[in-house]
């Protein structure tokens, strides 16, 4: 994976070195939240159990409902939405909304399917996954007996939580949510691994991507994570307080949502933080593109670019229609998409938008492993550069308190 910068720039040398120091000092500053630093430790030895369960499910079921919200589903969803489920179970995402309409749609989608379920809820207090688990549990219990339920349901939560007790009472496999890892840093734990494996994707390659990035980050300051963290923080004093993650591969939209949660929840505190947004190009160039080019100079733009998109889709010959697109004849859409990307990067960076470009070789499990680890490492040091705690999220409790008061909890 490569990282390049375009447009307004700053000397990043000193700040990149500072990132390296902050990274080394993380364990001195935080206790009980750094279990994700080592991808192997993050899996807590559950890789084999995950593979076995996923293989068993794939042998008899066709649909996996993943119940979870925020950090408890975004990483897996990013990978699965981009890579598909051709070799595995269809995935239905639940527990991430309070919309009655959405929940009805979920139940409709499950009709006639052989359903298995992975419930992920760290504290088992969050309203969305807790309430959806109840509905889906009732729905499944109406179709499967206790023995069937036992093999069809896996619960992931904190050891000792009520969810853990329920797993014991019902004979479900319980895969623990690692204590020293907050939701949005769980990409390489069972939280991310089981849905990805059930979708038929290669979790070894995914973990390898994470591990390779981990060793890059631990072996010196010249790595994409520190350079990226330094870049966004070097630009902030010049008024660049909003960052947009963009890609010409729309299948990265869920990765962008994962990234937005990671940075938004980690940095937005104490009146500080770079606001994380995202757009998918070229579609959004026809809406937000005008703002990026002509609006206030406060946007940072971070591209996720792909070297080999695996596409092979030439524009067909058509000499009779005179539709005005003959100049594209024989050109592949990969070439056309690249041209649009290069043109956008040039126009935006020359127009005063600082741009960072991450380029991955392919859209595959390995690339996701690299990207996730790089962004998590970048987020941790970026939060430190900003002077906030990147591992708490006190702010989200405020709305919950008044919501629970209304609901009479």
**Catalytic one among 2, 272, 362, 400?**
400
Rg of the chain, C-alpha, whole Å: 22
Tokens (6 digits) for 136? 């889906």
Q: Which of residues 129-168 bind ligand PA5 (CB under 6 A)?
A: 129
Which residues ranging from 238 to 277 are in contact with ligand PA5 (CB under 6 A)?
265
Q: Which residue is nearest to ligand PA5 (CB)?
A: 183
Minimum distance of ligand PA5 from residue 276's CB (angstroms):
14
**How many CA atoms lie within 13 Å of 81's alpha carbon, on the beta-carbon side?**
18
Task: Tell me whether residue 168 is one of the annotated catalytic residues.
Answer: no
Phi and psi, residue 28, nearest 5°: -75, -30
Stretch that binds ligand PA5, among 18-26, 105-113, 118-126, 286-294 (CB under 6 A): 118-126
Interface residues for ligand PA5 in 65-94 (CB under 6 A)? 69-72
Shortest CB 184 distance to ligand PA5, Å:
3
- DSSP letters for 284-325: GGGTTHHHHHHS-TTEEEEEEEEEE-----BPPP-SSS--S-
What is the nearest approach in angstroms of ligand PA5 to the Cβ of residue 178? 12
Question: How many residues in the shown chain lie near ligand PA5 by CB under 6 A?
Answer: 14
CB of 400 to ligand PA5, least distance (A): 9
209 sits near ligand PA5 (criterion: CB under 6 A): no
Helix or strand (DSSP H, E) at 358:
strand 355-362
Token pair in block for residue 239:
């008024």
Q: Which of 183, 195, 224, 354 binds ligand PA5 (CB under 6 A)?
A: 183
Nearer to ligand PA5 (CB atom), residue 70 or residue 354: 70
Clarify whether 2 is annotated catalytic: no
Name the helix (H) or strand (E) containing 155: strand 153-156
11-40 b/e (C-beta count within 10 Å ≥ 16 → b): ebeebbebbbebbeebeeebeebbbbbebe
What six digits make up the tokens of 134?
């109840």
Structure token pair of residue 108 = 């409709």
**Order of strands across the sheet with 299-308?**
2-6, 355-362, 299-308, 242-247, 275-280
Minimum Å gap between C-beta 155 and ligand PA5 is 12
Residue among 50, 199, 68, 198 nearest 133 (CA): 68
> Smallest distance, Å, CB 37 to ligand PA5?
16
- 182 in contact with ligand PA5 (CB under 6 A): yes
Could you tell me if 248 and 278 are in contact, meaning their C-beta atoms sit under 8 angstroms apart?
Answer: no
Which C-beta is closer to ligand PA5: that of 72 or that of 189? 72
CB-wise, 196 or 357, nearer to ligand PA5?
A: 196
* Residue 123 binds to ligand PA5 (criterion: CB under 6 A): yes
Q: Which listed residue (221, 265, 267, 301) is catalytic?
A: 265
Residue 286 bears catalytic tag? yes
Query: Contact residues for ligand PA5 (CB under 6 A)?
Result: 69-72, 121-123, 126, 129, 182-184, 265, 393
Q: Which residues are catalytic?
A: 265, 286, 400
């Amino acid at each position: 994976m490569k990282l390049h910068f375009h447009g307004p720039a700053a000397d990043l040398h000193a700040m990149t070195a500072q990132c390296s120091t902050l990274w080394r000092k993380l364990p001195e500053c935080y206790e009980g939240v750094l279990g994700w630093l080592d991808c192997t430790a993050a899996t807590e030895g559950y890789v084999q159990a995950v593979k076995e369960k996923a293989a068993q499910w794939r042998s008899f079921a066709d649909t996996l409902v993943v119940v979870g919200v925020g950090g408890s589903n975004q990483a897996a969803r990013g990978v699965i939405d981009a890579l598909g489920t051709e070799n595995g179970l269809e995935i239905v995402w639940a527990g991430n909304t309070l919309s009655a309409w959405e929940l009805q749609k979920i139940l409709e989608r499950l009709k006639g399917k052989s359903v298995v379920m992975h419930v992920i809820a760290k504290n088992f207090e969050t309203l969305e996954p807790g309430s959806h688990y109840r509905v889906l549990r009732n729905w499944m219990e109406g179709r499967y007996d206790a023995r069937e339920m036992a093999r069809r349901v896996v619960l992931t939560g904190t050891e000792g939580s009520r969810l853990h007790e329920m797993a014991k009472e019902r004979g479900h496999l319980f895969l623990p949510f690692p204590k020293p890892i907050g939701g949005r840093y769980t990409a390489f734990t069972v939280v991310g691994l089981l849905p990805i494996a059930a979708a038929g994707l290669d979790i070894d390659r995914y973990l390898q991507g994470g591990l390779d990035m981990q060793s890059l980050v631990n072996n010196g300051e010249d790595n994409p994570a520190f350079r990226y963290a330094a870049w966004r923080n070097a630009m902030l004093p010049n008024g660049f307080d909003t960052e947009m993650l963009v890609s010409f591969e729309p299948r990265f939209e869920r990765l962008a949502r994962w990234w937005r949660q990671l940075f938004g929840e980690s940095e937005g505190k104490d009146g500080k933080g770079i606001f994380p947004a995202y757009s998918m190009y070229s579609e959004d160039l026809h809406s937000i593109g005008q703002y990026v080019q002509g609006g206030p100079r406060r946007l940072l733009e971070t591209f996720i670019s792909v070297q080999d998109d695996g596409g092979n889709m030439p524009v067909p010959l058509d000499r009779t229609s005179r539709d005005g697109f003959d100049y594209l004849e024989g050109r592949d859409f990969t070439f056309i998409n690249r041209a649009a990307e290069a043109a956008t990067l040039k126009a935006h960076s020359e127009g005063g938008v600082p741009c960072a470009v991450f380029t991955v070789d392919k859209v595959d499990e390995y690339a996701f492993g690299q990207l996730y680890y790089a962004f998590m490492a970048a987020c941790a040091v970026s939060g430190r550069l900003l002077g906030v705690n990147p591992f708490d999220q006190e702010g989200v409790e405020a709305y919950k308190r008044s919501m629970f008061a209304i609901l009479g909890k």
